[in-house]
Structure 1
Amino acid sequence: MITYKHSLLFILVVFFQNCNGQKTAKQEIHNKDFNWTITIPENFENLSSADWTKMQNKGTDAIEKTFEGKVINQSKTIFVFKSDQLNYFESNYQPYDPSVDGDYLESCKAVNEILYETFKAQMPGVKIDTTRTVEQIDNLEFQTLTMKVEYPNKMVLTLLMFSRLFDKREFTVNIMFVDKLKGQKMLDSWRQSKFIK
Structure 2
Amino acid sequence: MKKLLFTIIVGISLSLTSCGQVDPNNNIDEGKVEGNIYTSQEIGWTIEIPKGWTVIDKEKTKETNEKGLKAIEETIDGQVDYSGLKNLISFQKNQFNIFQSTSEPFELEYEGEWEENNAALKEIIYTTYLNQGIKTDSSATTVEKIDGLEFQTYSFRIYSPKGEVILKQIMFSRLINGFDFGVNINYNNDKDRDELLKVFRNSKFKK
Structure 2 length-normalised TM: 0.84
Query: Are 1:27 and 2:36 an aligned pair?
Result: yes
- Greater strand proportion: 1
| 1:44-55 equivalent positions in 2, closer than 5 A | 44-55=53-64
Deviates more, 1:45-54 or 1:10-19: 10-19
Q: 2:126·2:136 contact (CA, 8 Å) conserved in 1?
A: no
The aligned residue for residue 42 of structure 1 is 51
Which SS does the other structure have where 2:51 is aligned? Answer: coil
Percent of paired sites with the same residue:
31
Counterpart amino acid of residue 19 in structure 2: G
Note if 1:6 corresponds to 2:3: yes
Q: Are 2:65 and 1:56 aligned?
A: yes
Q: Note the residue ranges of structure 2 that are not aligned, 5 or more in a row.
A: 25-34
Where does 1:12-161 land on structure 2 (aligned, <5 Å)?
12-14=8-10, 15-16=12-13, 17-22=15-20, 27-73=36-82, 74-99=84-109, 103-124=113-134, 126-153=135-162, 154-161=164-171
Quick check: 1:171 aligned with 2:181? yes
Between 1:28-37 and 1:86-95, the stretch displaced more is 28-37
Q: What are structure 1's unaligned runs of at least 5 residues?
A: none
Asked if the contact 1:135/1:143 (under 8 Å) is kept, the reply is: yes
**Cα distance in 2 for residues equivalent to 1:189 and 1:139:** 15
| Stretches (4+) displaced over 3 A | none
**How far has the Cα of 1:180 moved from its partner?**
2.0
Alpha-carbon displacement from aligned partner over 1:102-146 (angstroms, at most 9, x marks no partner): 61111111111111101111124x241322101100000111121
Displacement of 1:42 in angstroms is: 1.7
Q: Is the 8 A contact 2:38 2:89 kept in 1?
A: no
How many equivalent residue pairs? Answer: 191
Q: Deviations over 1:33-89 (max 9, x none)?
A: 222111111221212221110010111111112222111112111112111122110
CA RMSD, Structure 1 to Structure 2 (Å)? 2.1
Cα offset, 1:101, TM superposition: 9.9
